[in-house]
């Protein structure tokens, strides 16, 4: 294995450990706003996967790039759906319209 591969694996492992430490320290009340910010980060991940796909040289790498773009896109879409559901929990419930109320005097 090359020195570049060792360096890349080391950077990946360190980023996983730092990411876990940062996420584990966030209180539960901040998860909804943080999820919205994470959607923007995942959008950058999708763009990065597309850029890597441009450099692919074999069908295996094309397949891996497609899977990376697909999973990143699903993650972005799912994040927005979950964020929308969480935000609707904090909105005021709509009043049901009373059919007998015409708005006039009785």
Could you give the CA distance from residue 15 to residue 69 in angstroms, rounded to a whole number?
Answer: 20
CA distances from 46 to 16, 72, 95 (A): 18, 5, 41
DSSP tag of 2: -
Give every CB contact of residue 103 below 8 A, 6+ residues apart in sequence.
none
70 band by pLDDT with thresholds 50, 70 and 90: very high
Average pLDDT over residues 55-77: 88
Pick from 9, 30, 11: which is nearest to 19 by CA? 11
Q: pLDDT digits over 81-103, tens only?
A: 877 777 787 777 777 776 665 55
- What values do phi and psi take at 63, rounded to 5? -65, -45
Q: Encode 75-100: b = buried (16+ Cβ within 10 Å), e = exposed.
A: bbeebeeebeeeeeeeeeeeeeeeee
| pTM higher than 0.85 | no
Residue 106 has pLDDT above 60, yes or no: no
């Amino acid at each position: 294995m090359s020195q570049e591969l060792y360096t890349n694996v080391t950077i990946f492992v360190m980023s996983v450990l730092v990411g876990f430490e940062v996420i584990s320290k966030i209180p539960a009340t901040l998860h909804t706003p943080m999820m919205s910010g994470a959607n923007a980060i995942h959008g950058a991940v999708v763009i990065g996967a597309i850029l890597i796909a441009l450099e692919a040289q074999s069908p295996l790498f094309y397949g891996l790039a497609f899977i990376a773009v697909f999973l990143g896109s699903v993650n972005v879409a799912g994040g927005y759906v979950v964020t929308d559901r969480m935000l609707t929990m904090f909105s005021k419930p709509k009043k049901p319209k009373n059919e007998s109320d015409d708005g006039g005097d009785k």
